[in-house]
């Protein structure tokens, strides 16, 4: 079984490739029921947010308490740059649920974070270079997981000052920069197409008000799928994202749901 969460599609691409290569079932963390879960080998695939786990992933992992720990557990963390100590947070969270973690890998993919000055999407050249590298790395990951091997420190991309990022910057980021209340829609640009609502993995956006504009509920994990999917560039996060790039979103909700 491979549990995945993906906002814009990077992690979903990895989860889908692993599923095909290993013959393992895919399950969307936001929708799966854990009843009767008894697989021997379990993988987790999700993006790194602020050098840690997305909220929705933390919430899912807490639900594992009480589920019998599998023989082999692995994780693939996708990131745009580096993961800090996300692997340590993941291991601790799993431990609390009585689960181990035998192998953990990180893969550098398209960057999707654009909400602060200095952060933008990758150029086409950078994106292509990353894709070439992660595809090669993924083949190696598949080999290790297939044989239920262990990972090493070389399988991770902690970046510079990983402890500072995860233990100091991350809490600040979560406190001040993760809030659906900062999403804004440019009314003149919005085409009321509903793509933002449709792509939201948490079904947190509604267009059912009289103005037919998107409204965000409180159940947001900050994946930015709503921002990236808007072809009119009408969705913004405060004023930070007005001139930022967008990535093409692969909608994991429409493709494969719960098995």
Instruction: Name the site residues for ligand FMN (rule: CB under 6 A).
Output: 6-12, 47-51, 78-82, 109-113, 222-224
Q: Which is nearer to ligand FMN, 9 or 43 (CB)?
A: 9
Strand partners, 41: 72
Q: Least separation, in Å, of the C-beta of 2 and ligand FMN? A: 13
Query: What is the maximum span of the chain, computed from C-alpha positions, in angstroms?
Result: 56
Which lies closer to ligand FMN via its Cβ, residue 45 or residue 70?
45
Q: How far are the Cα atoms of 26, 42, 187 from residue 70, in angstroms, in the given order? A: 16, 7, 50
Q: Is the CB of 29 or the CB of 224 nearer to ligand FMN?
A: 224
Q: Which residue is associated with the tokens 């979903």?
A: 12
CB of 186 to ligand FMN, least distance (A): 20
Minimum Å gap between C-beta 74 and ligand FMN is 17
- State CA 141 to chain mean position distance: 18
Alpha carbon separation from 200 to 7, 61, 159, 192, 211 (Å, rounded): 8, 20, 30, 15, 20
Exposure string over 187-216, b if 16+ CB within 10 A, otherwise e = eeebeeeebbbbbbbbebbebeeeeeebeb
Q: Which residues pair with 82 in a beta bridge?
A: none
CA 224, CA 203: separation in Å to the nearest integer?
Answer: 13
Cβ nearer to ligand FMN, comparing 16 with 70: 16
Closest distance of CB 55 from ligand FMN, Å? 10
Which two structure tokens, joined as six digits, stand for 94?
Answer: 């799993």
Q: Rounded to the nearest whole angstrom, what is the least distance from the CB of residue 224 to ligand FMN in the complex?
A: 4
CB of 7 to ligand FMN, least distance (A): 3
- Measured from the CB atom, is 151 or 170 closer to ligand FMN? 170
- The closest alpha carbon to 29, from 10, 13, 12, 17, belongs to 12
- Pick the closer one to ligand FMN by CB: 145 or 247: 247
């Amino acid at each position: 079984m491979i549990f995945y969460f993906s906002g814009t599609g990077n992690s979903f691409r990895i989860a889908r490739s692993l599923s095909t290569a290993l013959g393992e079932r895919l399950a969307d963390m936001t929708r799966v029921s854990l009843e009767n879960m008894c697989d021997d080998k379990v993988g987790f695939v999700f993006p790194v947010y602020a050098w840690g786990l997305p909220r929705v992933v933390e919430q899912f992992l807490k639900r594992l308490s009480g589920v019998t720990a599998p023989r082999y557990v692995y994780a693939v963390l996708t990131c745009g740059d580096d993961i800090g100590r996300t692997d340590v947070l993941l291991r601790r969270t799993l431990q609390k649920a009585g689960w181990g973690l035998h192998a953990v890998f990180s893969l550098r993919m398209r960057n999707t974070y654009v909400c602060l000055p200095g952060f933008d999407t990758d150029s086409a050249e950078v994106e292509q270079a990353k894709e070439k590298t992660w595809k090669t790395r993924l083949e190696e990951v598949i080999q290790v997981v297939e044989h239920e091997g262990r990972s090493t420190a070389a399988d991770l991309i902690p970046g510079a000052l990983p402890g500072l990022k995860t233990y100091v910057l991350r809490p600040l980021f979560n406190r001040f920069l993760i809030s659906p209340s900062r999403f804004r829609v440019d009314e003149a640009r919005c085409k009321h197409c509903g793509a933002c609502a449709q792509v939201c993995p948490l079904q947190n956006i509604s267009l059912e008000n009289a103005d037919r504009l998107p409204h965000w509920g409180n159940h947001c994990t900050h994946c930015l799928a709503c921002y990236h999917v808007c072809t009119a560039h009408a969705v913004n996060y405060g004023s930070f994202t007005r001139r930022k790039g967008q990535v093409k979103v692969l909608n994991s909700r429409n493709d494969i749901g719960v098995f």
